[in-house]
Structure 1
């Protein structure tokens, strides 16, 4: 399968999951600086002009959450998705929060044009990012992390997702030292071969 990504974007969560699952994949780097994501060639892959995208037998898949679930389906023995329905819902609760709230909070720093037509509005959105991302960290610390990882002692799809989001915190003006549970989570994830592989491949 071919994995389309851009470094330091949420797409890297999919790479971490692929590594956790032991699934072989070919990387295709999309150069955001050169605006490849908005070019005609990439539009044939993902007309939304975003990453990630995954070319598999049967077509091309997009959206981080969907790709993570696909990986869990392809490699059930990797244990990235719990079988217990309550734990499964808790995992997805965090994933959906990351997609609908925390990632959006972060995106207001650089993607103001998605929400406002006047450039004068962008600075106001950017100024809000440290506050909204800090609030998201408070939620994750209090309710999202039930141990070293989202579900406690076991790594799940949500941890792949959360780790990448947390790599943005310093740049978003969050005082990470105020969130020891997040710091411990980051340390635990960075000891895993999947995350080390992402760094070794220049994804992070």
Structure 2
């Protein structure tokens, strides 16, 4: 059985949704950031990075959301969550998810985790990073809106592992100060994702 370590409100939601979509047999374990459980010796044995998500499989432990999404998609091919039979289309899926991971999520993190890049007591630099977030995150989502979201789903007609990942990061738009009026297609995508049974179930568990 697979086991997903997650924290409420984190990017782990994407993998949680995909596990549901795939019909996987899995369990979950919540990590409480407020109690700094991600720094506990027990969790660091699971993920030395001290972050979520982490996915325990029968072959070992996976970290990093794009890797976990691909693993689930390939482990449950009948779910058709990734075009694994088309090398170029599959690469496009990984390109999109890599952008979310390497750029969009990092830009978002500048709002509350500036201490990763500057000294924690450098209030001026941390404040400057926070002020920049609406511009950087907003710009990234405008690019997605204009050039990357093919519609109705990220890759077009086929729902893929890109959709739960985009949805998860889109949960943070309001707090990041992004002007939703500039990204109507992203907002509509988020609305339609909320209607999916898998999304409702994953959110319900993580917010219980």
User: Structure 1-normalised TM-score?
Assistant: 0.96
Give SS of 2:206's match. Answer: coil
Superposition misfits of 4+ residues, deviation over 6 angstroms: none
Q: Deviations over 1:22-42 (max 9, x none)?
A: 102111000001110011111
Tell me the equivalent position of 1:107: 109
Q: Is the 8 A contact 2:142 2:182 kept in 1?
A: no
Shift of 1:183: 1.3
Structure 1, gaps ≥5 residues long: none
Q: How does 1:55-66 map to 2 (within 5 A)?
A: 55-66=56-67
Q: How does 1:34-113 map to 2 (within 5 A)?
A: 34-82=35-83, 83-113=85-115
Q: Distance in 2 between matches of 1:177 and 1:19?
A: 31
Q: Distance in 1 between matches of 2:4 and 2:94?
A: 23
Q: Is the 8 A contact 1:17 1:68 kept in 2?
A: yes
Tell me the equivalent position of 1:196: 200
Q: What do you get for the CA RMSD once the two structures are aligned?
A: 1.3
Alignment of 1:148 with 2:159, yes or no, is no
Match of 2:169 among 165, 168, 171: 165
Alignment length, in residue pairs? 204
Q: Distance in 1 between matches of 2:56 and 2:203?
A: 22
Q: Distance in 2 between matches of 1:192 and 1:126?
A: 33
Q: Is the 8 A contact 1:3 1:26 kept in 2?
A: yes
Q: How does 1:16-35 map to 2 (within 5 A)?
A: 16-35=17-36
User: Structure 2-normalised TM-score?
Assistant: 0.94
Structure 2, gaps ≥5 residues long: none
